[in-house]
């Protein structure tokens, strides 16, 4: 029974650093299965394993092939293998794959090709999640799961094979089945309902951001920082960044710019009154430059400058681990700027906390923030469809997704796909999730439907579809509760579903 089927496989490398998790060991105790899960859906068995190979002791020029195997008596089925290559072995593997690509197409290459190849890299977490689905057969319920680990035949030696039992019987969870016959199921499936959200209005939207004077070392690019440029060049750089932000707004169909607000933030360096005077002059010069270059056209443009941004300084100090942090915060909170706050900070602990402020905090405070306000009229179905086809689906509102869906026949592939996409892009929208659940229910994808519905099960707009879901899962009592509540809110489909249930009694 080996290699007789095409098997969908997903495998994700885990790059987040994590501590060692004990589990079921295999391959000489150097690898561990830290999690395992088996499920049966739509005639397929899904096997999911979490594997940790932090303790793998393998030379850079060798490899290890791990193959999960289901075995019960005379029955045996190998699942897709995972090839773990050392760094040098990976280079050799990639070259051999490139050279043999043409031969495989010509059916000359006969060596088995692993389903997934992993590069053993010490720089990232050495772990992966293995997930595969295969057609389910009855013998699999009593099968054991083995992991065969085969070393490469490198350096003229024979690679050893290790076999470890990971699961003694896959212990599938019992599946609930509907007590109704297929014809009745189909009748209830037709009674799912779709929710239409309230119509969109021409509401105000905004985009905010900031341009730092000094970027952190990790984010610093080639060239001078904004704070190192002359005032004229600073104005040009600020204009250039704002123009790019405005371009995205102007590209939105139906968008109309309302207001552009720009605010500069400075740090307390020198005399307060002089800083305030300079901030006013700086704001006027920047506004004049932006107007001369027609940044916002006739749109209202506001430019302000805060000479000393103590609010941000306080926040950054509170989040830091600086020396004498509490004493520094106490001075900032209780001594007014005009009454010697900065001078007292300079005197604290021989000026060491103040030196930290100058080197770490003040540069982070200096920035130019912006807020772009605009309105966008709701798009009709044709405009929404054009935006969707252009790949700019994230610019669509929820109502516009529904308008696109309604332009297709209900239940069609296009209709279903648009509603499913809407739920993924608007994960917190009850309407989007309830409609995606209705699509899943119409296809009898019960686990998917529950995933969409469960968070919103207490909302009246979800009662009808929750009732249909519970009914198909075999929980008639709970279904009647939901359907009765839905019927009291005036959902016609729920009234019909309750009528069908009474007939079946």
At residue 225, the pLDDT reads 85
Position 113 confidence tier, pLDDT thresholds 50, 70, 90:
low
Is 235 within 8 Å of 286 (Cβ atoms)? Answer: yes
CB atoms within 10 A of CB 198: 7
Top-confidence residue, 101 or 501: 501
pLDDT of residue 177: 45
Q: How confident is the model at residue 329 (pLDDT cuts 50, 70, 90)?
A: very high
Confidence band, pLDDT 50/70/90 cuts, at residue 370: very high
Q: Name, in order, each residue with C-beta under 8 angstroms of 245's C-beta and a sequence gap of 6 or more.
A: 207, 209, 370, 372
326-334 long-range Cβ contacts below 8 angstroms, 24+ apart? 327/353, 328/353, 328/357
Tell whether the model's pLDDT for residue 4 goes beyond 50.
no
What pLDDT is attached to residue 256? 80
Pairing of strands 300-306, 255-265: parallel
Instruction: Name the pTM for this structure.
Output: 0.44
Q: How many helices (H) and strands (E) does the chain have?
A: 17, 15
Q: What is the pLDDT of residue 2?
A: 38
Residue 286 — very low, low, confident or very high, per pLDDT cuts 50/70/90?
very high
> pLDDT-derived band of residue 124, with 50, 70 and 90 as boundaries?
low
CA atoms within 13 Å, Cβ hemisphere of 16 = 4
**pLDDT class of 8 with cuts at 50, 70, 90:** low
Per-residue model confidence (pLDDT) at position 497? 82
* Top-confidence range, 32-46, 175-189, 331-345: 331-345
pLDDT at 200 over 80: no
What pLDDT is recorded for position 304?
Answer: 94
Q: Compare 15 and 198 and report the one with higher pLDDT.
A: 198
- Looking at 108-117, 131-140, 200-209, which range is the least confident one? 108-117
Averaged over 470-486, what is the pLDDT? 87
pLDDT at 75 over 70: yes
DSSP-derived 3-state class of residue 108: coil
pLDDT at 65 (0 to 100): 92
pLDDT confidence band for 331 (50 / 70 / 90): very high
Task: Report the pLDDT value the prediction gives residue 171, as an integer from 0 to 100.
Answer: 62
DSSP assignments along 209-271, one per residue: EEEESS--GGGPPSS--GGGS-HHHHHHHHHHHHHHHHHHHHHSTTEEEEEEEEEEE----S-
> Is a pLDDT exceeding 50 seen at residue 6?
no
Q: Percent of the chain scored above 70 by pLDDT?
A: 80
Residue 18: predicted pLDDT: 36
In the chain, the domains with their CATH numbers are: 9-168 (2.60.40), 182-199+391-504 (1.25.40.10), 204-375 (3.30.1330.60)
Average pLDDT over every residue of 123-131: 77
| Torsion sign, CA atoms 262, 268, 269, 275 | positive
């Amino acid at each position: 029974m080996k290699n007789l089927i095409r098997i969908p496989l997903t495998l994700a490398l885990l790059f987040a650093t994590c501590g060692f998790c004990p589990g079921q060991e295999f391959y000489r105790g150097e690898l561990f299965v830290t999690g395992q899960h088996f499920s049966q859906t739509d005639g397929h068995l899904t096997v999911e394993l979490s594997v940790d190979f932090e303790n793998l002791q393998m030379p850079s020029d060798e490899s290890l092939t791990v193959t999960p195997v289901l075995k019960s008596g005379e029955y045996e089925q190998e699942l897709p293998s995972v090839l773990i290559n050392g760094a040098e072995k990976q280079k050799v593997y990639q070259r051999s794959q490139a050279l043999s690509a043409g031969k495989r197409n010509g059916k000359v290459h006969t060596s088995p090709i692993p389903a997934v190849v992993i590069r053993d890299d010490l720089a990232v977490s050495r772990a992966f999640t293995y997930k595969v689905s295969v057609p389910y057969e009855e013998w699999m319920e009593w099968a054991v799961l083995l992991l065969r680990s085969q070393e490469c035949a490198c350096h003229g030696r024979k690679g050893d094979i290790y076999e470890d039992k990971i699961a003694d019987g896959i212990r599938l969870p019992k599946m609930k089945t509907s007590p109704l016959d297929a014809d009745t199921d189909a009748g209830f499936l037709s009674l799912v309902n779709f929710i239409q959200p309230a119509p969109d209005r021409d509401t105000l939207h905004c985009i905010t951001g900031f341009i730092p004077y000094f970027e952190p070392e990790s984010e610093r690019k080639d060239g001078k920082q904004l704070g190192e440029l002359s005032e004229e060049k600073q104005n040009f750089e600020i204009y250039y960044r704002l123009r790019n932000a405005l371009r995205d707004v102007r590209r939105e169909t139906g968008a109309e710019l309302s207001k552009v607000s720009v605010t500069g933030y400075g740090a307390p360096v020198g005399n307060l009154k002089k800083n305030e005077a300079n901030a006013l002059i700086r704001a006027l010069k920047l506004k004049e430059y932006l107007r001369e270059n027609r940044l916002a056209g006739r749109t209202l443009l506001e430019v302000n400058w805060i000479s000393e941004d103590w609010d941000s300084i306080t926040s950054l100090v509170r989040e830091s681990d600086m020396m004498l942090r509490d004493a520094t915060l106490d001075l900032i909170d209780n001594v007014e700027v005009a009454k010697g706050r900065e001078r007292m900070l300079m005197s604290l602990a021989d000026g060491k906390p103040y030196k930290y402020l100058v080197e770490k905090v003040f540069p982070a405070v200096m920035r130019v923030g912006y807020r772009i306000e605009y309105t966008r009229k709701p798009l009709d179905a044709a405009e929404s469809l054009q935006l969707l086809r252009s790949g700019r689906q994230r610019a669509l509102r929820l109502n516009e997704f529904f308008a696109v869906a309604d332009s297709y026949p209900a239940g069609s592939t296009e209709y279903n796909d648009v509603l499913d996409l809407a739920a993924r892009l608007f994960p917190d929208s009850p309407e989007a999730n309830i409609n995606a659940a209705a699509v899943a229910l119409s296809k009898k994808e019960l686990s998917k439907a529950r995933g969409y519905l469960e968070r919103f099960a207490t909302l009246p707009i979800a009662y009808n579809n929750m009732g249909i879901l519970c009914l198909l899962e075999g929980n008639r009592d709970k279904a009647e509760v939901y359907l009765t509540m839905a019927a009291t809110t005036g959902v016609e489909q729920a009234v019909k579903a309750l009528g069908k249930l009474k007939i079946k009694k």
